[in-house]
């Protein structure tokens, strides 16, 4: 299959520029498009054969549900049953934006889209290209991240091209994803809202609107999922992983830097390629290996936005080992550490 690459300027959206992409979606094909979280791989959410194509193109396990993207708050009523009042309140504050709500699904949503579940994840994205595409396609768009399953999520069209060229119909290049981490997922089907995946809408932010909110125990876990049955099926898979072995170092930052320097030196002597995930603040304190800054500790949003890009750059550099500093795991840091821990397969060294 030939993958067509088109560029759309988010400040100049015309019906004409979306015609071909919308036709592809309507006829059951696959279009990757930018969202404010990461790039999504879209298909008609109401067409089960189209949804199946997403799993095939990504190599994604078929029980890992897809999030359905809509272009108007009202659209959630087309997809979900028994919508609680709290969903409307959260939508009013956080939509359009990086929040996915899990609700009971209507019969029109195929099980191929929900990974066999009776619930559906719904999000109204803030990215204007994403919303324009959904409304031009005149349907709802199921879209997981547009990467090969298990790889770091794509934050730029180039990342999508690298993973999915030849496997999908079209890629829309609309520039960098501003947040760089997948949406916060909150399950609204139980007594209390439960966060299944932390993201840029933090627990505090949700609580300011919804009152008490629970965190799925798997989020706080610092070891693999053994023993815990994940509520969000995707949580059980190894995710976001670079090719090299990633190890996180936790503790006093000066000591972390000293230990990482020694480790890198040792690996280089053994003939391996080694890299370091540093920050703007620590970059110059590392003495050897390939050292990259993920962002600034003074601005956590820069770290969220830079994480997947740095992981992918280490893949390009074919490093065998990657050593990373760790980050505070509250607020946005909770989402950052959640992804970093998964990328590292929970390999953490405490100093
Ligand atoms: P992705 O779009 O690749 O970030 O993955 C979507 C993730 O959303 C899945 O891996 C699940 O963890 C979660 N998800 C989507 N729909 C549901 C649902 N109905 N119930 C629980 N989790 C869901
Ligand atoms: Mg994903």
| DSSP string across 20-44 | HHHHHHHTT--EEE--SSS-EEEEE
For 231-258, the pLDDT digits (tens) are 555 555 567 788 999 999 999 999 999 9
State which ligand 1 atom lies nearest to the alpha carbon of 60.
3
Q: Which residues of the chain are under the pLDDT cut of 70?
A: 222-238
Q: Is 145 in the pocket of ligand 1 (CB under 6 A)?
A: yes
CATH topology for 4-215 is DHBP synthase (3.90.870)
Query: Atom 3 in ligand 1: which residue has the minimum CA distance?
Result: 144
List the chain domain ranges.
Answer: 4-215, 245-350
The alpha carbon of 149 and the centre of ligand 2 are apart by a number of angstroms equal to 7
> Measured in whole angstroms, how far is the alpha carbon of residue 311 from the centre of its chain?
13
pLDDT of amino acid 265: 98
Query: Atom 21 in ligand 1: which residue has the minimum CA distance?
Result: 232
CATH number for the region 245-350 comes to 3.40.50.11030
pLDDT of amino acid 224: 63
Q: Is 216 in the pocket of ligand 1 (CB under 6 A)?
A: no
Which ligand has the nearest atom to the CA of 189? 1
For 138-186, the pLDDT digits (tens) are 999 999 999 999 899 999 999 999 999 999 999 999 999 999 999 999 9
The alpha carbon of 230 and the centre of ligand 2 are apart by a number of angstroms equal to 16
Dihedral angle sign, alpha carbons of residues 178, 339, 295, 171: negative
Dihedral angle sign, alpha carbons of residues 337, 185, 116, 69: negative
> Measured in whole angstroms, how far is the alpha carbon of residue 270 from the centre of its chain?
35
Cα–Cα–Cα angle for 111, 180, 224, nearest 5°? 65
Contact between residue 159 and residue 147 where contact means Cβ atoms under 8 Å apart: yes
Those residues whose beta carbon sits under 5 angstroms from the ion ligand 2 are 144-145
Whole-number Å distance between alpha carbons of 286 and 214: 39
pLDDT of amino acid 91: 98
Whole-number Å distance between alpha carbons of 114 and 51: 9
CA-to-CA separations, 201 to 51, 85, 209, in angstroms, rounded: 27, 19, 12
């Amino acid at each position: 299959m030939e993958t067509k690459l088109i560029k759309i300027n988010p400040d100049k959206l015309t019906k004409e520029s979306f015609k071909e992409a919308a036709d592809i979606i309507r006829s059951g094909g696959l279009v990757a498009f930018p969202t404010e979280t990461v790039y999504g791989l879209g298909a008609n959410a109401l067409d089960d054969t189209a949804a199946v194509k997403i799993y095939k193109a990504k190599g994604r396990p078929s029980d890992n549900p897809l999030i359905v993207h809509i272009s108007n708050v009202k659209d959630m009523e087309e997809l979900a049953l028994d919508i609680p009042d709290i969903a409307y309140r959260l939508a009013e504050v956080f939509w359009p934006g990086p929040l996915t709500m899990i609700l009971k699904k209507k019969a029109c949503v195929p099980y191929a889209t929900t990974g066999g579940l009776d619930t559906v994840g719904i999000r109204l994205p803030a990215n204007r290209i994403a919303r324009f595409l959904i409304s031009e396609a005149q349907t709802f768009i199921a879209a997981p991240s547009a990467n090969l399953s298990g790889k770091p999520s794509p934050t730029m069209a180039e990342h999508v091209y690298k993973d999915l060229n030849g496997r999908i119909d079209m890629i829309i290049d609309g520039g960098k994803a501003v947040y760089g981490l997948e949406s916060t997922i909150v399950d609204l089907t139980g007594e209390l809202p439960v966060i299944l995946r932390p993201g840029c809408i933090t627990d505090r932010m949700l609580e300011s609107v919804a009152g008490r909110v629970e965190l799925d125990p798997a989020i706080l876990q610092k070891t693999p999922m053994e023993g815990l049955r994940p509520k969000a099926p995707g949580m059980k898979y190894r995710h976001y992983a670079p090719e090299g072995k990633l190890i996180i170092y936790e503790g006093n930052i000066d000591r972390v830097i000293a230990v990482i320097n020694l480790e890198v030196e040792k690996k280089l002597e053994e003939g391996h390629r080694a890299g370091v995930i540093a920050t703007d603040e620590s970059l110059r304190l590392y003495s050897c290996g390939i050292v990259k800054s993920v962002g600034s500790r003074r601005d956590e949003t820069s770290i969220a936005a830079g994480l997947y890009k740095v992981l992918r750059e280490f893949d390009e550099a074919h490093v065998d080992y990657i050593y990373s500093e760790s980050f505070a795991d509250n607020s946005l840091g909770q989402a950052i550490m959640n992804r970093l821990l998964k990328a590292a397969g929970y390999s953490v060294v405490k100093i």
